[in-house]
Amino acid sequence: QAKALFDRNILLIGFMGAGKSTVSACLGKMLAMETIEMDRFIEEKEGMKISQIFDVHGEEYFRNCESNTLIELRSKNHAVISCGGGVPLRPHNVELMKKNGYVIWLTAKPEAILERVKDSTERPLLNGHMNVSYISSLMESRREKYSAAADLIIDTTGKEIVEICEELLQKL
């Protein structure tokens, strides 16, 4: 079953702290596939951290970087791609993602998300909003967009990374 995946990208989407980066690293190892983190890709290209890009250029500029990155990544066909949490917000991005591979939505309870992101200084959208009610409402406002993009949904709450990867491979 895993063999069939080799000619398709796997794209991970979901809220900040849903586990996209750690799961993609683990999946990449298990499947011997290249892993690409969109945020890191953008940071390298721009020569700045994500938070600096937001400060210097603003969110809209960053969203354009995301869309451009998706276009660049069209040439990939054998990678695990961890998308930034906001990538599915633009319908055109969703189209590009769906064309580019299998889209997996990682979810988690807001309480679990808070636990994972609370010490992060690299998430400009959560600056000054590190609480469950803000996270819940931002998650809720994105739910439909994530859902529209997803081929498969995996809840990561309370699960180990390897467990999540195994569940994912079983369901693919």
| Closer residue to ligand S3P, CB minimum distance, 6 or 141 | 141
Please check if 39 is assigned to a binding site. yes
13 binds ligand S3P (CB under 6 A): no
Indicate which single residue of 11, 39, 149, 165 sits in contact with ligand S3P (rule: CB under 6 A): 39
The interface region with ligand S3P, picked from 28-36, 79-87, 106-114, 156-164 by CB under 6 A, is 79-87
43 near ligand S3P, judged by CB under 6 A: no
24 among the known binding-site residues?
no
Contacts of 141 (CB under 8 A, 6+ apart): none
| Cβ 39 vs Cβ 28: under 8 Å | no
Q: Of the candidates 19, 28, 85, 110, which one interacts with ligand S3P according to CB under 6 A?
A: 85
Asked if 16 interacts with ligand S3P (CB under 6 A), we say: yes
The two tokens of residue 42 are 């953008």
32 is in an annotated binding site: no
Query: Residues 93, 95, 101, 102: is their CA dihedral positive or negative?
Result: positive
Q: Distance (Å, rounded) from C-alpha 77 to C-alpha 74?
A: 8
Stretch that binds ligand S3P, among 67-75, 91-99, 123-131, 156-164 (CB under 6 A): 123-131
Q: 123: annotated binding-site residue?
A: yes
3-state secondary structure 3-42: HHHCCCEEEEEECCCCCHHHHHHHHHHHHCCEEEEHHHHH
Q: Does 169 bind ligand S3P (CB under 6 A)?
A: no
The reply on whether position 86 binds ligand S3P by CB under 6 A is yes
**Token pair for residue 44?**
């390298």
C-alpha to C-alpha distances, 19 to 2, 98, 105, 114, nearest whole angstrom: 21, 20, 10, 12
Q: Which residues bind ligand S3P (CB under 6 A)?
A: 16, 20, 39, 50, 84-86, 123-125
